[in-house]
Structure formats: structure tokens, C-alpha cells
Chains A and B, each alone.
Chain A
Amino acid sequence: MADSTKIETPARTVETVTFTINGRTATVAKGTTVLQAAHGLGITIPSFCWHPKLKPVGACRMCYVEIEKMPKLQVSCATEVTNGMVVFTESDKVKQGRRAIIEFTLLNHPLDCPTCDKGGECDLQNLTFAHGYDDSRFAFQKLRKIEAGVPSTFDDIKIGPEIVLNRNRCILCYKCVRANKEAFGEYDLGAFERGNHTEINAAPGQQVDNPFSGNLVEICPVGALTNTDWRYKIRVWLTDQKASICPFTSSGTNIQFYVERHKNRIFRTTGRRNDAIDDGWLSDVTRYGYQIIQSPDRLKTPLIKKNGKQVPATWDEALAVAAARLTEIRDKKGCVCVGGLASPSLDNASLYTFNKFMRVAMESNNVDYRTEYRRLPSSLDNPYDIAASQAFTIADIDESDVIVVIGSDLVREHPNEYLRVRKAEQFNRSKVFLLNPLSTKPSDVAALELVHKPGAEEIAISAICLAAMESGWASGVNADDLKSKTGFKKAADAAGACGLDLIEIQAVARAIAEGKKITIIAGELVTRSREREAIGAALCNLNRVFGVDGKGQMAILARHANSVGAARLGLTPDLGAGFAGALKSIWGQYPETPPQNTDAMLAAARKEELDAMILVGVNPVMIYPDREFAREALDKLDFLIACDLFETETTQLADVVLPLAGWAEYRGEYFNLEGRLQSAEPGIAPLNEARPAHQILESLAEQCGSPLFAGMDQRNAEMEKILKVDIRRPWPTGLIEVKPQPQETAPERTVALIMGDDPHHSGYLTEKAPSLVGFCGEAYAELSPELAAKLKVGAGDSVRLEAATGKIIVPVRVSEHIDNDVVFVPRNFMAAPVNSLVSRKQRVDWVKISKVSD
């Protein structure tokens, strides 16, 4: 291959320059703009169009400064500091320049501030107050942009499910268009017309409905873009801000709620920029997800099953019944008969309380937090968990020159990391490689996108290792060893087996070998695979072959808000001697019973070997990868307690249902995927009678006669001790055998089903957020145009998806970005339970697909 594939990385500049600003001398890194340098020194330079995460554009001209030896005023956002530069930010000339810009900006701006939702937090109001005239010399009719024939109030037009545009208020800073393009890679918004007739609008025939569209509203400096969520509900100065954490993403996006205390109501969510995590961008799921907390469908009181029907009860009644039955079952047959599942989105205190409740109060090792995965490993020392426990730093993605995404539909699983990958490509020209069984975003910025056969992840990874070995990039690895461990003699064979071209595999291998700083991200398509241990082994080999740990990072990313916390707080059944020992020393006791994971618990329940289960924020019927299996298992239990926010398929089976408080209703701490501990303030007090999980479990334990903690201090002290246990596993030093998996061949007339989250949903709760339902309200089957043509279906038609275990009927969505032998169905909708099509035994879920004729 030609040398041109070699990547040029800009050398990190440590060079500095010294300059004078308003009489102060300061030294900053070379390449810093005057505006950034001034902000760093605490000198405010006003601006409309500058945004810290976008390229400077110099459109608003508000950030003028005077620079000695330059006759004209300069825009500080785009002027780099040079040695000896003398800058004035408050000279008369600068002040006059700013005043002129404010005057220009206000010429055609409707002064409808009293009815504008931006009032109180409007950059134009604030900067006019600070820098403008108190009168206008403009004596003409203001220009109004009104669409003929479009019914509108105050010239507003709806350009997306959640966004309303008022073009007259727009001051054309272009921040929305730039963010959409530079940060999100979306082109559904653009500028039209020229001069002062220029207007921002949705692209012709399109809606602004990308998964990050809410940010456009947040960065709008005026009230031109508003979201329907917030419009005409409340004035911003009547709200308090509460710092919280997003419960839908594993990166722990920093958010803040705007809360009206007296109404005990959240009105909106905005970002709380944290450059280490989110850069201030929120996905729409993060932004509108708070609405589920205020859903009218929330469970209002505890329910107790009486004569086969669930009837409302008081907390005292419900807890008494639950405690009585649990104690009875625990004491009657011995503790193997109680099991528990908790959601990995719960906070640390709840997860830890759950662990102690199960292991101390229930004396059972039947504890798990992994409900949606197939064939769980029994202990933590398997290749999958080794790869999943690796250190990962989100911000390092920016600086990696080579980024490889393996088995992850990034935008749907990890929106923050998706934006980081885009940013790396856009700003640092990083090379991005995607290795997935289906085409995924960000394919538009990918140097190469490799789409392999479904269920061939570990073969594709092995092919990369073999290609590196064949080209001599795998120093220190024995060739024969690698061949025998991967089960392939040549890279070409492995590439052929997973349906890829050798040359593509070689390109990836070359990039990883030559990259100076590598980031390799593996995601849910790995975690959800039945063969995740084999894929984990292949990843371990990849690390060994390329020495990734020496020049970058590789990890299987956790998916849920507190998956890391759940693992670190010991919510897996078999903790190993060390971890169990630590717990025993803290608690003074540790159950001796055989540990059972989710699979084993449900299997035991089906065989009536498990009598009771307690589910905290988990809906196995909806998310367990075999719906009927989970339903039957739960149905056969003698006693089931379900704690949840809503009535679900699972709570319907329960004997006692307890209303759970959501993350916005109580203080909690969460570990993000990096292991960063973050705290979330409560936005509002729990609605109705809901209670936080840890409170419910403590009360229950007390009623069972084994109180867990003497107080919060004791709980926190215990947690602190447990978190000292290191569950990180080092990469193996040798190669691991990737157990060759018999290739499943597709049965006749079937396609591979891939399920995941819709970009506007996460899990099964977001269906309760009206805004998110506005973006996507029902399940769909995403098909390639070819497959759609073969089935003779188009938009508006429905297809029937059938498997041995069940069938669903969903509307069709034709997409250019999916392959012919794959169909994608979101798993977020109760009306279309896609987990009824999957089987925990299969690796690839082959489904029959046919047109529904009406």
C-alpha cells in the first residue's frame, strides 16, 4: 500500500506566546484566540456567534477588540494571540464598535420580549443592556419574515417535532447550523436567502428531528428557536436550577433541571457543560427524558394482589405483606429460594442496599443486575469482563488519531461518545473505522466502514490480528500460536469467513499499527451477543497483538447509567473469594448458597426451584432476551415483588407492586463508564407516594427483622470500604483461545434481526416522555431498499416478523444505511415487544419477514 495512508498528527504545541491585554501581561499557549485568552484571564468579551465547541465564524462581529498596530477593529474570536500583541477590550473605539453592532442587530429584531420565552436568559437582552444604546435611530418598518399560507402565531413555524422557529427574532449567528453540521453531522437545518432576508429554516422537505436537535434550542442566543417543551409555560427567573446526571447514558452527561419549587415540577433540562464528558451537548433522550418522571401514568400507590387482582394499598400494608411472605419463604426452605434483580440505572446507595438486602437479609447469593443479556458468564474472570473492566477516558477520544468502533451502534448506545468521535474526525482529522454487522453512524466520517456477517464479530477481530501478523506489525506474537488460537491459518480465510475483503481488514490493521494514539470502543452488540466471551477473547488478542494498552485505550463500554457502580458494588452472584471476603469482613456474614445469575434464577423459577423474587426497576418480560421464558418464570413464582415507576408487563405478574421514585426525585451518586463518581441533586420531591429504592429496601429489611444500617453514615462507610476493592482485571499477557463457533447459517427466507434503541429512546421507560414519542412513537422495521423491494413494501406498509418464539407486526421504515440481510427493530415500545422474537440460545436471531396485506 502507498505511504499516503500514513497519518500526520499535529505535534502537541507546548509553545507559548506572551501578550498584553488591558495593560496586563499574560502568557498563553500558541494558537489561543484573543477571546479565549481573555476569558481565561477573567476578561469578558461579549459575543453572539462564538461557541467554545465550534469553529469560529466571525459573523456577529460583537467580539471586537482593538489591537495595537492594526488600524481596524479585530474580531477576537478568530484572532490568534501573537508575541508582543497589545490588546484593548474596553477602549472607546471598541465600545463604539460594539454599540454599532447592537444597533445593527436590533434593527429588524422584533422587540417582543414580554412574550418571548428567552426573556431573562437572552444574550441579546443582556448584551444590549450592557453595551447598547437606550434608543434606536432606526425609523423604518421592521422586516418581517412571514410564510404565506402558513398558519402561525407571532410568525412561529414548527420545524421539528420539538422545535419552533421564529425567523424574525433570529439574529443570524449561525450557531444552530454550525453545531448541526460540525458537532452532530446533521444537515436538516440551513440558511436560505441573502442579505437581511437571510433566514434559518429546515432543509426543504425535512424536519429538524435529529437525535441532538434540542441543543440547537439551547445554544440559540435569542428566542428564535424554542422548544415546545418549555414554550409559554414559565418565566425562567421563577425557576431554580438543580444539578443532575443523565440516567439514560452511561457517560453520565451533566444536566440541570429547571424546577419550580412550589409546583414541585421540572420544566426543562439543559446541559451543564463538562468538557471531560459531554462538551455541553445533550442527546434528546437526555434532554426530554425527565418527562417520564412527571408522567400521569406513574404508579400512585403500592398495590397488593388480592384474589388475583391488584388493589391499591398503603405502604405499611404492602411492606407488611411483602416482609411476611419473604421471611416465610426465606425461613421455610432455606435461602436459595429468594432471588433479586436490580436495574443498573439505579444510584449507588440503592444498588448497595439491594446487595446487602439480598445477601444479608435474604441470605441469598441470587443477585444480578444484568437482565437483558444472553448466557451470562458465571464468574468475573472471563475474557469479556476483562475487556469490559478496562480503564477508558471519554476525553481521550478527541486526541486519538485512530478510532475503531467494534460492535456498537454508537449514536444509539453512546450519544456522547458518538459526538466525541465526530469531533475527533472534524477537528483533529482522526481516522475512524467502524466494524459492525450493520451500517451505523458515523459512517459519513468513517475512513472505512466494515460490515461483517451477523454473528462473526470475533472472526473479524481475529482477521485484523492475523493481517497484522502477516504484515509484520505484530511484534512479539508467535505466528503459529496466533493461528492456532484464532483457528484460522490466514487472514484471508478469516476475512472470508466473516464476509469482509482482506484489503479492508489490512487497512484497519495498518491504521492501528501505525496510529500514535488509539481508541478502540466496543459496545452493546458485543455485550448482547451470546458469544461475548469469545469476542472478549478476540479483543484481548487484539490488545496483545497491537499493544493497544501501551498507546491508547480499548474497552467494552458499559451501557447503563450505573453499570460500573453495580459491578463495583458487587451485584453479580459469584464475586470470587477476594470480593466475597471483603464483604464478609464488612457485614460479618456472607451467604454460602450457590450463586445464581439472571439466567439461572429464571430457569430455577420455571422449575419451581425458586419461590420468590424481588425486582427493583427491572422489567424482565420486556428486556430479557426471551420474552416467554421470562414471563413463564415470573408467573411460576410463589411470590414476586416488583418496584417500578410504571405499571408494566412484569408488575402485572407481581404480588406486591411498590412505586419507585425516579432519579430526579432523590439524591444519588452514579459511576459513569469511566468510573467517575458523580452526584445528582433531586429536582423535585417524589411524586405521589413513590419512594427511592434504598428507602424501600431498608424498610423491607427492617420489617423482615434484619435491619441493614444504623443510619446513612453506616451505609456510606460500608460503601466506601467496598469501593476500595479493585475489580479491574489486567489484560492477559498471552494470547487467548478464541473458541471457534460453528457458523450459524441463515435458515431459508430469513433475515438477521438486530434490536437496539431508537436514537430518540432508551430502554422501555422513554415511551412515557411525550416529547420523545413526538420524535418516534412506535416501533418500526428498518429495511434496506432492496429488501423492501423484494417484499414489495414501502413506507406506510407493515411487515410481520416471525420467529419460533413469537411474532410482531411493525410498520416499515426504508433506510439506505442498512444491509439487505439485516432488519433493525427498536426495543423501546411495549406495543411491539421485539424480545419475543429472540431466543437466549441463538447467537443470531433469524426472523421470517413478510408483508402484511390488509
Chain B
Amino acid sequence: MFYSPVITNASEAAKSDKLHLFRYVEDPDQVKVATYEQHGGYKAWRKALTGMSPEQVAETVKNAGLRGRGGAGFPTGLKWGFVPKNSPKPRYLVCNADESEPGTCKDRVLMERDPHAVIEGMAIAAYAIGCHVMFIYIRGEFNHSIDRMEAAMREAYAAGHLGKNLYGTGYDLEMIVHTGGGAYICGEETALLNSLEGERGMSRMRPPFPAIEGLYACPTIVNNVETLATVPHIINHGAEWYRKLGTEKSAGTKIFSLSGHVKRPGNYEVELGFNLKKFIYDPAFGNGIIGDKKLKGVIPGGASTPFLTPDMIDVGLDYESLTVKGSMLGSGAVIVFHEQTCIVWVLLKLIHFFHHESCGKCTPCREGTAWLEQIIHRIEAGEGHPGDIEAMDEVCSNILGRTICPLGDAAVMPIQSAIRLYRDEWQYHIDNHRCLVDTRFEFK
């Protein structure tokens, strides 16, 4: 039984020799260690621990070109290399499972349906950085994920994949499941570390970066669930195999969470560089817009990325192509809006979220997001003033790049792009006190 039903492309993945993350996610027994082992699980962990040096593991991941799947897209192997080699302090690996970006639900599928893959990836990463205690910080509301991960962890301990003297090598590895307190900001790695330490979840100043001084002021690597779940496959199949997937600079596959006004919302694993238009309209994926309406716009990488208009969607879903179009791959949450959506209303929802989730530490984000919500709320309510758009734009630019952590940027990037791309609609809202589009819509 699955806890949360969600459409995936597991059947395609099972047939494909390229797609690997989703190959077994429709198998109800995959959560059991025996089934996972039958499907080739924990082979990579054994191979890494018994046959490779930590440097070789890190080098393999680096050569594979794996980039962080949490949103920033930083090369994973490179990140591992930042851990000081000669530090006498313990090192820590933290798996960031505080998946809270609106539109994103990929990590949850992995944790609920293939938890051992996450554990195996964490173990390999831990070995690569020389860590003996690893944490997974799971979003507090993800009850099912927490259950699944804890059960899987217990099984992994029992099966000898975690614990003392693993596979007779003398290597010890302990795992701790930690649940979050319900704050979006704790998905930001330094806030996550604060929260894990028992402090208030607020971002820290960088430098020092977590790789130098992270959890308990010790070298710490924070990686996303999907990133870590990919690692065993790289170890099994080699860097070359992985490198050939996807595009030249964006290697590998990625899970995209498709939501919004599409007929078939769900999680789909595709190679990076997959065409966005095809992704929305192909029957195997989005299968088109509900009610066969026209497309109005797409947020390609989660709530914090800029919009794409219909003329911009013939683009590859990879880090570089989207940047060219002025947006970002982010966490891979594709949110689709049809023509009858009021952009002001969408932005009100988004800014409400960011205002609510601002941690309150630094001034521009704390005050600015609230101010923006008030302005957009006023426009949406039909009480907009002339000059509101300009004021909003300026507030946005006073936040962008001026905050401690990326939450401030995340809050204003969709607003700025929406102002740029749909300015007439904002203006109409202010001038005529109502939406430009007819938002009455019946589900059929």
C-alpha cells in the first residue's frame, strides 16, 4: 500500500536503461530491505566501502557531473571536496529532506517508496567525506516519509548496512532521523543546521560555509534527498554512464513534479534537457491543459523561480537552457497556469507564502515580503493605486541580493518576472479594479 497516491512514470523507467530513480517506486515491497536488495540495493554501498577509497567515491561522483537537486544545482562531488582533509573535528552528513518549496513533491515519493535508496546514498556520501554520524532532516508534516524512513533505517541496521564494523571493514556509521518543526526556511541548509542543533531555524551568515563549520561547528555536508538517491546508481554504473545521460553540462536524470492546470499532474523522471513543451502536452506526461485551454505561463522550478510565457516553453529542462530564458531549474517543480488564471491572484498566493515563511532575521526579507503582500493584496482586492507596480518593483529590487539567505530572492524573483511579463494585466487590475481575464471556470 502506498500512503499517498501520485502518478509516476515508473513503468517507463522500468523499461528504460537510463531512468533509474523511479524504476521500482510502484513496487509496494520496495520499501523492504529484502526486496531492495533483490533489486540490486546496497550493492553500491558494499562496493564503495569494501572496494573504493573515500577519494575514489568523491571523484566518481564528481566525474559523473551530478549537480545538487535541491535547487541550487551545485556540483555534488565538488561540494564534498570542500571538507577539510586534516580537521580533527568529526564530520557530519545531513540529508536535507525538508521539502517545502510550493509545487515540489519529488523527495517525498523517494522517501515513501524507495527509502533504502536514500539511506544507501547517504551512507556512500558519508563514507566519501569520512563521516560516522549522519542525519536526515525530514519536514515535520511528512508523517508518512518519517514512518517509512525510520522503518527503513531500522531494517538497514538489522541487515547490517548501518551500525558498527560494516561489512567487516571496521567502518562505523550511525544514522539519526530528525523531524523538522514546520518551517520552509529550514530547507535552507544553514537554517536547517540551526534547527538540528535545537536553535531557532534562522539562516546563518556565510562564510563560514557548512563544509568548514556546519553542524556543531564541525565540517558538514548538506545534500538533497534526490541527489543522494542518485549516488548509488553512479557507483554501480560508473561516472561515464551517468555523464552520458542528459545534456553535456546538466548530466543525468531528474524528477520533475508537474502540477497546476494539466490533465495529468504527477512526478516524472526524465533526462535533463527534456523539452518543456513536450513535458506539458505529451500524453505520457502532462497530457495538455485541463479543459484544453490555452497556456498562460509556467513556473518551471518551484515557486521561487521566474515565469515562462507560452512563447518561451520550447526549451530544454536543464540548468543552462532555463537560465537563458531568464528562469531557473530550481527544484524541478513545473507549475502550469492556463489562460483564465489571474496573475495577480497567483502572485498573492506566492507572496503570502513567502511572507509567512520569512524567518524574521534580516530586515529586507522580514519587512519587504510583508509589504509586498499588502500591496498585491490591495491590487487583487481592486484597490490598487497608481504607482503600486513601480513601488513593488522597487521593493523587490531592495530585497533581491540583499538578504542573508536565498528566501528573499525566491520571494521577489517570480514577482519581478510577473511584472515584466504580464505588466498590462497588473495595470488593468489597478485601473479597472478587477481581473483582466475571466476567472470563472468549470471543471469538466
Say if A and B assemble together. Answer: yes
Which residues of A does B touch, CB under 8 Å? 4, 8, 56-62, 64, 71-73, 75, 78, 97, 100-101, 103-105, 107-108, 137-140, 143, 171-172, 174, 190-191, 193-198
Cβ–Cβ contact B374 & A191, under 8 A = no
Cβ–Cβ contact A59 & B364, under 8 A = no
Instruction: Give 24 pairs: A residue, B residue, CB < 8 Å, sorted on A.
Output: A57-B205, A57-B361, A59-B363, A60-B362, A61-B364, A64-B402, A72-B401, A73-B401, A97-B398, A100-B364, A100-B402, A104-B363, A104-B366, A104-B367, A104-B371, A107-B370, A137-B391, A193-B360, A194-B358, A195-B357, A195-B358, A196-B355, A196-B370, A198-B366
Contacts of A64 in B (CB 8 A): 402
Chain B 376-405 interface 0/1 with A at a Cβ cutoff of 8 Å (1 = within): 000000000100000100000010011110
Closest-by-CB residue of B relative to A198 is B360
Cβ–Cβ contact A101 & B358, under 8 A = no
Closest-by-CB residue of B relative to A140 is B374
Closest-by-CB residue of B relative to A8 is B88
Residue from A140, A143, A190, A194 within 8 A of B356 (CB atoms): A194
Chain B min CB distance to A537 (Å): 39
Cβ–Cβ contact A108 & B367, under 8 A = yes
Residue from A61, A171, A174, A191 within 8 A of B403 (CB atoms): A61
Q: Does B145 contact A (CB under 8 A)?
A: no
Contacts of B361 in A (CB 8 A): 57, 59, 172, 174
Q: Does B200 contact A (CB under 8 A)?
A: yes
Closest-by-CB residue of A relative to B360 is A198
Cβ–Cβ contact B402 & A73, under 8 A = yes
CA distance A193 to B363 in the complex (A): 15
Q: Does B266 contact A (CB under 8 A)?
A: no
Q: Which of B360, B369, B374 has the most CB of A within 10 A?
A: B360
Cβ–Cβ contact A191 & B360, under 8 A = yes
Residue from B183, B367, B385, B401 within 8 A of A196 (CB atoms): B367
Cβ–Cβ contact B357 & A194, under 8 A = yes
Cβ–Cβ contact B401 & A104, under 8 A = no
Cβ–Cβ contact A195 & B359, under 8 A = yes
CA distance A104 to B185 in the complex (A): 21
CA distance A59 to B366 in the complex (A): 10
CA distance A60 to B367 in the complex (A): 11
Chain A min CB distance to B190 (Å): 12
Cβ–Cβ contact A56 & B205, under 8 A = yes
Contacts of A62 in B (CB 8 A): 363
Closest-by-CB residue of A relative to B202 is A191
Residue from B205, B360, B385, B402 within 8 A of A172 (CB atoms): B360
Residue from A57, A59, A194 within 8 A of B183 (CB atoms): A194
Contacts of A56 in B (CB 8 A): 205
Question: Once A and B bind, how many residue pairs between them come within 8 Å at the CB atom?
Answer: 93
Closest-by-CB residue of B relative to A77 is B205
Chain B min CB distance to A91 (Å): 15
CA distance A707 to B385 in the complex (A): 86
Starting from the known contacts A104-B367, A107-B371, A196-B360, 13 additional A-B residue pairs (CB-CB under 8 Å) come to A57-B361, A59-B362, A60-B363, A72-B402, A73-B402, A97-B398, A104-B371, A137-B391, A143-B370, A190-B200, A194-B360, A195-B357, A196-B366
Chain B 35-57 interface 0/1 with A at a Cβ cutoff of 8 Å (1 = within): 00000000000000000000000
Q: Which of A56, A64, A172 has the most CB of B within 10 A?
A: A172
Chain B 172-194 interface 0/1 with A at a Cβ cutoff of 8 Å (1 = within): 00000000000101000000000
CA distance A190 to B198 in the complex (A): 13
Given known contacts A107-B371, A174-B361, A195-B360, A58 and B366 CB-to-CB distance under 8 angstroms: no
Chain B min CB distance to A365 (Å): 59
Chain A min CB distance to B216 (Å): 13
CA distance A138 to B367 in the complex (A): 11
Q: Does B219 contact A (CB under 8 A)?
A: no
Chain B 338-374 interface 0/1 with A at a Cβ cutoff of 8 Å (1 = within): 0000000000000000011111111110111111001
Cβ–Cβ contact A191 & B369, under 8 A = no
CA distance A97 to B362 in the complex (A): 14
Contacts of B385 in A (CB 8 A): 139
CA distance A59 to B356 in the complex (A): 18
Cβ–Cβ contact A101 & B363, under 8 A = yes
Given known contacts A194-B356, A194-B358, A71 and B371 CB-to-CB distance under 8 angstroms: no
CA distance A57 to B359 in the complex (A): 14
Residue from A8, A57, A97, A172 within 8 A of B366 (CB atoms): A172
Chain A min CB distance to B139 (Å): 16
Closest-by-CB residue of B relative to A177 is B200
CA distance A736 to B205 in the complex (A): 54
Contacts of A103 in B (CB 8 A): 398
Chain B min CB distance to A221 (Å): 12
Contacts of A72 in B (CB 8 A): 401-402
CA distance A108 to B367 in the complex (A): 8
CA distance A209 to B291 in the complex (A): 64
CA distance A107 to B363 in the complex (A): 10
Chain B min CB distance to A756 (Å): 33
Closest-by-CB residue of A relative to B184 is A194
CA distance A197 to B369 in the complex (A): 12
Contacts of B402 in A (CB 8 A): 61, 64, 72-73, 97, 100
Contacts of A75 in B (CB 8 A): 205
Closest-by-CB residue of B relative to A73 is B402
Contacts of A60 in B (CB 8 A): 362-363
Cβ–Cβ contact B359 & A194, under 8 A = yes
Closest-by-CB residue of B relative to A429 is B217
CA distance A143 to B374 in the complex (A): 11
Given known contacts A143-B370, A190-B200, A58 and B364 CB-to-CB distance under 8 angstroms: no
Contacts of A140 in B (CB 8 A): 371, 374
Closest-by-CB residue of A relative to B354 is A195
CA distance A137 to B200 in the complex (A): 32
Closest-by-CB residue of B relative to A139 is B385
CA distance A193 to B355 in the complex (A): 12
Contacts of A107 in B (CB 8 A): 367, 370-371
Closest-by-CB residue of B relative to A190 is B200
Contacts of A171 in B (CB 8 A): 363
CA distance A59 to B404 in the complex (A): 8
Closest-by-CB residue of A relative to B206 is A78
Contacts of B356 in A (CB 8 A): 194-195
Q: Which of B200, B205, B367 has the most CB of A within 10 A?
A: B367
Chain A min CB distance to B146 (Å): 22
Chain A min CB distance to B374 (Å): 5
Chain A min CB distance to B314 (Å): 30
Contacts of B363 in A (CB 8 A): 59-62, 101, 104-105, 171-172
Cβ–Cβ contact A191 & B200, under 8 A = yes
CA distance A126 to B385 in the complex (A): 32
Cβ–Cβ contact A58 & B205, under 8 A = yes
CA distance A193 to B402 in the complex (A): 22
CA distance A510 to B356 in the complex (A): 53
Chain A min CB distance to B180 (Å): 14
CA distance A137 to B393 in the complex (A): 13
Contacts of A58 in B (CB 8 A): 205, 362, 404
Cβ–Cβ contact B355 & A195, under 8 A = yes
CA distance A273 to B67 in the complex (A): 50
CA distance A194 to B369 in the complex (A): 12
Chain B min CB distance to A738 (Å): 39
Closest-by-CB residue of A relative to B355 is A195
CA distance A59 to B200 in the complex (A): 14
CA distance A57 to B402 in the complex (A): 14
CA distance A71 to B397 in the complex (A): 13
Contacts of B358 in A (CB 8 A): 194-196
Q: Which of B366, B374, B385, B403 has the most CB of A within 10 A?
A: B366
Contacts of B371 in A (CB 8 A): 104, 107, 138, 140
Contacts of B185 in A (CB 8 A): 194
Chain A min CB distance to B299 (Å): 22
Contacts of B367 in A (CB 8 A): 104-105, 107-108, 196
CA distance A174 to B203 in the complex (A): 14
Cβ–Cβ contact B391 & A197, under 8 A = no
Chain A min CB distance to B349 (Å): 16
CA distance A75 to B368 in the complex (A): 18
CA distance A8 to B86 in the complex (A): 13
Chain A min CB distance to B361 (Å): 5
